[in-house]
Amino acid sequence: MCIERGLKMTGQRRLIARVLSEAEDHPDVEELYRRASALDARVSVATVYRTVRLLEEKGILERRDFGGGRARFDPADRGHHHHLIDVDTGTVIEFADAEHDALARTIARRLGFDLVQLRLEIFGRKAPAKRG
Protein backbone atom coordinates (compact mmCIF):
# COMPACT_ATOMS: atom_id res chain seq x y z
CA MET A 1 0.00 0.00 0.00
CA CYS A 2 2.95 2.25 0.61
CA ILE A 3 4.45 1.87 -2.85
CA GLU A 4 4.48 5.46 -3.96
CA ARG A 5 4.38 6.89 -7.45
CA GLY A 6 6.32 10.09 -7.63
CA LEU A 7 5.32 11.36 -4.24
CA LYS A 8 7.51 12.35 -1.36
CA MET A 9 7.25 10.00 1.55
CA THR A 10 6.73 12.37 4.42
CA GLY A 11 5.99 11.41 7.98
CA GLN A 12 2.42 12.62 7.71
CA ARG A 13 1.71 10.59 4.61
CA ARG A 14 3.25 7.50 6.08
CA LEU A 15 1.09 8.00 9.15
CA ILE A 16 -2.15 8.56 7.25
CA ALA A 17 -1.45 5.62 4.95
CA ARG A 18 -0.92 3.44 7.97
CA VAL A 19 -4.16 4.54 9.62
CA LEU A 20 -5.96 3.83 6.36
CA SER A 21 -4.55 0.38 5.84
CA GLU A 22 -5.29 -0.57 9.42
CA ALA A 23 -8.89 0.64 9.22
CA GLU A 24 -11.42 -2.14 8.90
CA ASP A 25 -14.31 0.28 8.63
CA HIS A 26 -14.91 3.16 6.22
CA PRO A 27 -13.72 6.23 8.11
CA ASP A 28 -14.40 9.82 7.11
CA VAL A 29 -11.76 12.56 7.15
CA GLU A 30 -12.59 13.65 10.67
CA GLU A 31 -12.19 10.12 11.95
CA LEU A 32 -8.93 9.64 10.02
CA TYR A 33 -7.66 12.87 11.50
CA ARG A 34 -8.65 11.76 14.97
CA ARG A 35 -6.83 8.43 14.63
CA ALA A 36 -3.76 9.97 13.02
CA SER A 37 -3.55 12.68 15.65
CA ALA A 38 -3.65 10.08 18.37
CA LEU A 39 -0.47 8.55 16.95
CA ASP A 40 1.29 11.80 16.18
CA ALA A 41 -0.22 15.18 16.94
CA ARG A 42 1.81 16.92 14.20
CA VAL A 43 -0.79 16.41 11.48
CA SER A 44 -3.41 18.90 10.36
CA VAL A 45 -6.82 18.21 8.89
CA ALA A 46 -5.71 20.00 5.74
CA THR A 47 -3.03 17.39 5.21
CA VAL A 48 -5.48 14.57 5.75
CA TYR A 49 -7.73 16.11 3.11
CA ARG A 50 -4.81 16.59 0.74
CA THR A 51 -3.46 13.10 1.25
CA VAL A 52 -6.80 11.44 0.86
CA ARG A 53 -7.41 13.34 -2.37
CA LEU A 54 -3.97 12.43 -3.62
CA LEU A 55 -4.47 8.75 -2.90
CA GLU A 56 -7.83 8.88 -4.59
CA GLU A 57 -6.30 10.40 -7.71
CA LYS A 58 -3.62 7.73 -7.71
CA GLY A 59 -6.32 5.08 -7.56
CA ILE A 60 -5.24 3.83 -4.17
CA LEU A 61 -8.32 4.98 -2.32
CA GLU A 62 -11.98 5.14 -3.25
CA ARG A 63 -14.29 7.88 -2.07
CA ARG A 64 -17.69 6.69 -0.87
CA ASP A 65 -20.83 8.44 0.17
CA PHE A 66 -23.16 6.68 2.55
CA GLY A 67 -25.12 9.82 3.32
CA GLY A 68 -24.48 12.09 6.27
CA GLY A 69 -22.63 14.68 4.23
CA ARG A 70 -19.11 13.41 4.77
CA ALA A 71 -17.04 11.43 2.33
CA ARG A 72 -15.88 8.04 3.57
CA PHE A 73 -12.93 6.09 2.28
CA ASP A 74 -12.27 2.60 1.11
CA PRO A 75 -8.86 1.19 0.07
CA ALA A 76 -9.12 0.22 -3.58
CA ASP A 77 -7.04 -2.92 -3.23
CA ARG A 78 -9.70 -4.81 -1.33
CA GLY A 79 -11.45 -5.84 -4.49
CA HIS A 80 -14.79 -4.99 -5.97
CA HIS A 81 -17.55 -5.12 -3.41
CA HIS A 82 -20.79 -3.54 -2.31
CA HIS A 83 -22.11 -2.45 1.04
CA LEU A 84 -24.82 -3.44 3.41
CA ILE A 85 -25.46 -0.73 5.95
CA ASP A 86 -27.12 -1.69 9.23
CA VAL A 87 -29.73 1.05 9.60
CA ASP A 88 -29.79 0.66 13.38
CA THR A 89 -26.07 0.81 14.08
CA GLY A 90 -24.53 2.36 10.98
CA THR A 91 -22.18 -0.60 10.67
CA VAL A 92 -21.07 -1.31 7.13
CA ILE A 93 -20.68 -4.87 5.88
CA GLU A 94 -18.88 -5.52 2.63
CA PHE A 95 -19.92 -8.19 0.19
CA ALA A 96 -19.35 -9.15 -3.40
CA ASP A 97 -21.85 -10.70 -5.77
CA ALA A 98 -20.89 -11.56 -9.31
CA GLU A 99 -24.43 -12.43 -10.29
CA HIS A 100 -25.53 -8.98 -9.30
CA ASP A 101 -22.76 -7.31 -11.25
CA ALA A 102 -23.58 -9.27 -14.36
CA LEU A 103 -27.22 -8.32 -14.06
CA ALA A 104 -26.32 -4.64 -13.73
CA ARG A 105 -24.18 -4.86 -16.83
CA THR A 106 -27.11 -6.36 -18.70
CA ILE A 107 -29.43 -3.62 -17.54
CA ALA A 108 -26.97 -0.94 -18.62
CA ARG A 109 -26.56 -2.52 -22.02
CA ARG A 110 -30.32 -2.80 -22.43
CA LEU A 111 -30.50 0.98 -21.89
CA GLY A 112 -27.72 1.58 -24.39
CA PHE A 113 -24.85 2.17 -21.98
CA ASP A 114 -21.54 0.63 -21.08
CA LEU A 115 -21.25 0.09 -17.36
CA VAL A 116 -18.62 2.38 -15.86
CA GLN A 117 -19.30 2.02 -12.18
CA LEU A 118 -21.83 0.26 -10.03
CA ARG A 119 -23.08 1.39 -6.70
CA LEU A 120 -25.20 -1.01 -4.74
CA GLU A 121 -26.10 -0.29 -1.19
CA ILE A 122 -28.47 -2.38 0.80
CA PHE A 123 -29.85 -0.81 3.94
CA GLY A 124 -31.01 -3.53 6.27
CA ARG A 125 -32.01 -4.46 9.76
CA LYS A 126 -30.74 -7.47 11.63
CA ALA A 127 -33.25 -10.26 11.12
CA PRO A 128 -34.64 -11.90 14.24
CA ALA A 129 -33.15 -15.37 14.72
CA LYS A 130 -35.44 -18.05 13.34
CA ARG A 131 -34.96 -20.25 16.39
CA GLY A 132 -33.07 -20.19 19.66
Contact residues for a copy of itself, defined by CB under 8 A: 65, 67, 84, 86-87, 93, 95, 97, 99-100, 103-104, 107-109, 111-127
- Which residues, other chains included, contact 61 with Cβ-Cβ below 8 Å and sequence gap of 6+? 20, 52, 55, 73, 74, 75, 76
| Only segment of 64-72, 96-104, 108-116, 124-132 that touches DNA (CB under 7 A) | 64-72
Is the CB of 42 or the CB of 109 nearer to a copy of itself? 109
- In sequence order, the 6+-apart residues with CB closer than 8 A to the CB of 89 are none
Contact status: 74 vs DNA (CB under 7 A)? no
* Partner whose footprint covers residue 44, from a copy of itself, DNA, none (CB < 5 to 8 Å by kind): DNA
Distance (Å) of CA 50 to CA 16, 54, 57, 59, 108: 11, 6, 11, 14, 34
* Residues near DNA, by CB under 7 A: 7-13, 28-30, 42-47, 49-51, 53, 69-71
